[in-house]
A and B are shown apart, each in its own frame.
Chain A
Amino acid sequence: MIRFETRRHFLRKLGISVAAMPLAWNLPSLGFANQQRRKQRLVVVFSPNGVVPKNFWPDEAGKDFKFKQILEPLEPYRDRTLVLHGVCDKVRGDGDNHMRGIGCLLTGVELFPGNIQGGSHTPAGWSSGMSLDQEIKNFLQAEETTRTRFGSLEFGVMVPERADTWTRMVYSGPNKPIAPIDDPYQMFGKLYGAPADTASLKSVLDELQDDLRKLSKVVSKEDRRLLDEHASYVRSMERELVAAKQSDLGHAVPDIEPGVKETNDNMPRLSKMQIDLLVNSLANDFARVATLQYTNSVGQAKMRWLDAEEGHHDLSHEPDSNEKAQEKLTRINRWFCEQIAYLVERLAATREPGGPGTLLDNTTVVWTNELGQGNTHTLDNIPFVLVGNGLDFRMGRSLKYPKLAHNRLLLSLAHGFGHRIEQFGNPDYCGEGPLPDLS
């Protein structure tokens, strides 16, 4: 079972000097050494419950295509976008389609039999394989030139506080789901330590010095040595803190809004905070692989800010004939697309540190979903929208495939990083290798 890398563990590992850490990571000589090859990054974003196909998929194939309602927010990045229709999750076996939809999405392999019972089908457990993002992370971490502090970062937005097949997309191995971190403050602590601690510490050290001075006057000569020594250590810690504070941290540590509670209605703010942290951690080269998971498979966000009072999953079950529901679903999916657009905008606005261009020139964002369509629960035509130039794919196109297995797309992503594996997940679906016509 995977547990969060908690603040306690973090403190144990790094101690108080985390305050000074962003500095160290930001030193050109440390952070950006060994850059013969360009950096490549992958960000996988998940949103649940399928899409509304008629408002999602472009009618045209090729370079000349038009974005429909849902994908419109990506218009400014049309020439850096690739829409892949006809990619299907063919993995079957135990578990219902929502479970397999998320559990096999990045692993491409069956779930173990288990005790988690969905709406239909047989009960199932965790995935029986590693997910592709972790495969690529391991590939990058194995080489010194591409190794980063974390390798990969798993972000979430409003992921329910329970570990089951519907809430986990990323696996470090069979039966090893990784929990996404959906609390921006927890993620902030993981990335930068907690500067708030530094502040509160700073505030008490002066007073501590006072107290030590007072005591020092009343102890014996022999014992005074101990207190004086203590005071000198406190002084040196104080100096360290001051030094860390005075240095210009630049964009190394992002400002995040304080005190945002994890509630349904705060979802837009939480989303922005997580995206800001994500982009910042890429800029600092903390990781080259990231995932961002919105809610969970069968997620029930109530997007009141879009006039969609009902839970997302409940809405997605409504038939095509329920036009009101389809409209709401379209708004919901468009909202997710706006989040992708914000992420892409931030990547495009951030200069590539130590190299030419921007982060977007070296980052591929993959937006995906556990289902093709909510009311049919189909695993055909899983939405895959790619934005950015992290991999050498020819962008600015809409492609229509004849129902090819999504394992082949997973292979394409690996090959894009130069990781030329022949199979990923269930080999039965890897037949002819990476998808054709991408690069």
Chain B
Amino acid sequence: MVSAANLDGEQIYRQQCARCHGDRGQGVTKEYGKPLVGDRSVAELAKIIDRTMPEDAPQKCVGDDARKVAAFIYERFYGPIAQERNRPARVELARLTVRQHQYTICDLLASFRGAQQWREPSGLKAEYFNKGNFQTKERMLERVDPGVTFDFGEGSPFDEKIGRDSFSIRWQGGVLAPETGEYEFILDSENAARLWVDGDARPLIDALVRSGDDTEHRETIFLLAGEVYPLRLELQKSEKAKDKTASIELRWKPPQRAEEIIPAQALSPHWYPQRFVLSTRFPPDDRSTGYERGNSISQAWEKAATDAALETAEHVIAQLDDYAGIRNKKGDRNKLLREFAERWVTRAFRRPLTDEQKQFFVDRPFKESPDAETAVKRVVLLSLVSPRFLYQDLPQERHDSYAVACRLSYAVWDSLPDDTLLSAAAQGHLTNPDSVRWHAARMMNDPRAQAKLRAFLDQWLNVDRFVDLAKDARRYPDFDRETVDDLRTALDLFVNDILSSSTADFRELLLARWLYLNGRLGSLYGARLPPDAPFQKVTFDDPQRAGVLTHPYLMAGLAYTATSSPIHRGVFVARSVLGRALRPPPEAVAPLPVDLHQDLTTRQRVALQTNAQACQACHRMINPLGFAFEHFDAVGRYREIELGKPIDAGGVYQTKRGDKVTFRNVRELAEYLATSDETHEAFVEQLFHYLVKQPIRAFGAQQISQLRQRFVDQDCNIRKLAIEIAVIAATSSKAYDLAVHSQATP
């Protein structure tokens, strides 16, 4: 008999225990049927095994061997952590994520003000008036201006009809926020001017008073991506104010982007209702599994949700007549407000109310409040702190058409269903998957869907972590704040170009040889452009270009301040692109200082640093993937030599199945990535999790590979993939059933 002395716990288990307990401790029906799970300690387990196991020959596994087996069992399936890990994936009860909460409130309120589709992005409606006070009878010209940047000098904007000394101009329409965050609006004019961005209540910039040489006015406002805000801008030149000249420019600085004249594609000449965006700050959502989800709560979240409810209630009460649609309306005010309250709760809960709910959420507050305003405030508060608003897919609400509508709209928009979708639900149209797919495709054209896909890609690319990107000023003096903002803008243009094209091709994302550059970036990245050239597509003929993978913003973000970082780049490819699981490093290691190894290339230095056996388990995969990018330095500029030595970007990647993929440079690596099953599967899984916020395995073991096949069949169209995912999430009520059934098991 072979001594067990040099076998590890797993080997001993396989030899002596698995016959009765199963290879994963699940039990074997005829031998020992119960799974090996429990709450004994390793030491206790070891003692039991020592004395009693194996049942037919307890002396065969004692002492050290027993301890090794106990540790193995405990860690793999017996202990509480292992149990949690091995639990079958299921749909969990989830609250709205922070993003969903913000969008839901914003769109809920907008639904009472006549929400409008985003259409005809082309500029703002402009009205030009003779004299300085916008009198209708003096309106001489109406047109669409693609942007606001005018210098009229001492002259008239419209010679035939408008005097040069005294005139007024009003621009109106909608502005679409492409990103979520703080926007700075910049109004530059020597005349009296005012700008409204989120409604008529109060101007964002009030520059009626000109004072000194101060012509530039800046104000900041928080906007949600994919939402449209009403914008109005007024300019007055008046004789009385002794204005000699007139000029005006309206710019903005989107979060982390370059300042620019608000471009025509972000402006629509149509009317849009006032928007309300919560200013309550929430604690961040759990992202420990790689995607934001709402399956944990905290006191801080509960407080933020309550603050948000109060903030919203206060806002609704302040503009109650507008929201209730009873401005100038005749009739019994109390009755109208009560009708509004019922509509409010219905919309907030995303489904018709039962009689009991109507009684609880509407009738009772009205009965118990001294007046209708107070009652409405209570209704709004009560509905917004209610789990029926805060949670998705509550048990009794998982199987009807409204549940389908909600799952669909939260998957596509992170927000509640619009009227079209709700009426489809009411008419029972959502029982048919084709009809659901039709709605998903329709909804995918809304800017909120694009915004959600963009937010996913930012996370997938890691760029949401690039804050305060800066480089060694001695080595890269041109890489300043403006360059960083320009680069971010360039990445946006690149990604948006691909996402909004009809093919939305994932492979193009990884393989494109072009990118967007402007004059400033052109000089840094070696494109021949005039210094003041606006952003435009530039195609590179160097052999290494690989779409977003080698985009200078990504390359600069995945680098140290003075040198590239093959490890960061390799980890990005391994985790995001290939979906490989990597454990955190066994110990925190500071990078080897460049000064101590001045003769080593970056590749040699990283290889030296990670050559320990403990490191190699992961770095055998990470390093070659990262070295592939060595043609791009710390700011993402192309290079062919480092320290006088030619760049070596070649390497090998071993796939999950064990195949070896050899590449000589990043282009060859990218060509493999763009077409490999592994990459597609990883992309499918991550996009699913980002959109649905539930584990994909809960939707069937074959779901990933089925979706991957569909993705490939549809020419790797990202938008079509998103539609498929949304349809699956919306219609797989079976997955949601499991969550209910598990109620029965103790």
Contacts and interface: CB of A to CB of B under 8 A. Distances in A.
Interface stretch (A74-82, A161-169, A377-385, A413-421): A161-169
A167 B495 CA distance: 49
Given A125-B210, A164-B208, A204 B381 contact: yes
Interface in B713-746: 739-743, 745-746
Given A112-B211, A201-B306, A236-B299, A219 B742 contact: no
Nearest to A199: B374
Contacts of A113: 211-212
B93 A219 contact: yes
B304 to A, nearest CB: 8
Contacts of B299: 233, 236
B242 A117 contact: yes
A117 B241 contact: yes
Interface stretch (A8-16, A261-269, A361-369): A8-16
Interface in B273-301: 279-281, 295-299
Nearest to B746: A221
Interface residues of A, number: 55
Nearest to A4: B202
B205 A1 contact: yes
Contacts of B191: 115
B255 to A, nearest CB: 18
A388 to B, nearest CB: 34
A80 B382 CA distance: 54
Contacts of B661: none
A175 B209 CA distance: 10
Interface in B168-196: 191-192
A172 to B, nearest CB: 14
A237 interface: yes
Contacts of A215: 387, 394-395
Given A117-B240, A197-B314, A220-B742, A8 B279 contact: yes
Nearest to B306: A16
Interface in B601-628: none
Give the most central of B217, B298, B386, B741: most A CB within 10 Å.
Answer: B386
B311 A8 contact: yes
Binding site secondary structure of chain A? helix
A207 interface: yes
Interface string A346-386: 00000000000000000000000000000000000000000
A9 B206 CA distance: 19
B395 A123 contact: no
A145 interface: no
Contacts of B310: 11, 16, 197, 201
Nearest to B280: A12
B469 interface: no
Nearest to B299: A233
Binding site secondary structure of chain B? mixed
Interface string A181-207: 000000000000010010011011101
B212 A16 contact: no
B508 interface: no
Contact of A7 (B217, B314, B368): B314
A220 B737 CA distance: 11
Given A175-B214, A222-B742, A233-B302, A1 B207 contact: yes
A219 B741 CA distance: 10
Given A11-B279, A112-B211, A215-B394, A223 B92 contact: yes
A307 to B, nearest CB: 35
Give the most central of A113, A208, A210, A233: most B CB within 10 Å.
Answer: A233
A229 interface: yes
B193 to A, nearest CB: 10
Contacts of A221: 742-743, 745-746
A16 B307 CA distance: 6
B377 interface: yes
A128 interface: yes
Given A115-B192, A200-B381, A219-B93, A123 B303 contact: no
A230 B302 contact: yes
Give the most central of A8, A124, A163, A194: most B CB within 10 Å.
Answer: A8
Contacts of A218: 395-396
A122 B240 CA distance: 10
Q: How large is the interface on B (under 10, 10 to 19, 20 to 34, 35 or more residues)?
A: 35 or more
A114 interface: yes
Contact of A237 (B192, B206, B302): B302
B313 interface: yes
A336 interface: no
A175 to B, nearest CB: 5
A234 to B, nearest CB: 7
B127 to A, nearest CB: 22
Contacts of B307: 11-12, 15-16
A399 interface: no
A212 interface: yes
Contacts of A11: 279-280, 307, 310-311
Give the most central of A123, A197, A204, A212: most B CB within 10 Å.
Answer: A204
Interface string B368-406: 100000100110011001111000001110000000000
B133 to A, nearest CB: 14
B210 A208 contact: no
Contacts of B360: 207, 210-211
Given A1-B206, A234-B302, A200 B242 contact: no
Contact of B382 (A116, A126, A207): A207
Given A16-B307, A123-B241, A220 B739 contact: yes
A12 B279 contact: yes
Contacts of B394: 215, 219
B243 interface: yes
A223 B311 CA distance: 29
A226 interface: yes
A233 B742 contact: no
A227 interface: yes
Nearest to B276: A8
B242 A122 contact: yes
B339 interface: no
Nearest to A233: B302
A218 B397 CA distance: 11
Contacts of B260: none
Interface in B250-279: 279
Contacts of A114: 209-212, 241
A344 to B, nearest CB: 35
A203 B313 CA distance: 14
A165 to B, nearest CB: 7
B252 to A, nearest CB: 17
B388 to A, nearest CB: 7
Nearest to A223: B93
B318 to A, nearest CB: 9
Contacts of A122: 242
A230 B206 contact: no
Contacts of A9: 279
A385 B365 CA distance: 53
Contact of A211 (B211, B238, B388, B743): B388
Contacts of A7: 314
B64 interface: no
Interface string A13-45: 001100000000000000000000000000000
B114 to A, nearest CB: 24
A219 B736 CA distance: 12
Interface in A108-134: 111-117, 122-126, 128
10 contacts: A12-B307, A16-B310, A125-B211, A163-B206, A165-B209, A204-B381, A204-B382, A220-B93, A229-B297, A230-B302
Given A113-B212, A218-B396, 19 more contacts: A1-B207, A3-B202, A12-B281, A15-B304, A113-B211, A116-B208, A117-B240, A117-B242, A125-B209, A125-B211, A200-B377, A220-B93, A221-B743, A230-B302, A233-B297, A233-B303, A234-B302, A236-B299, A237-B306
Sorted nearest first, the 10 A-B pairs with minimum C-beta distance are: A125-B211, A112-B212, A115-B241, A223-B93, A233-B302, A115-B210, A126-B211, A220-B743, A204-B382, A112-B211
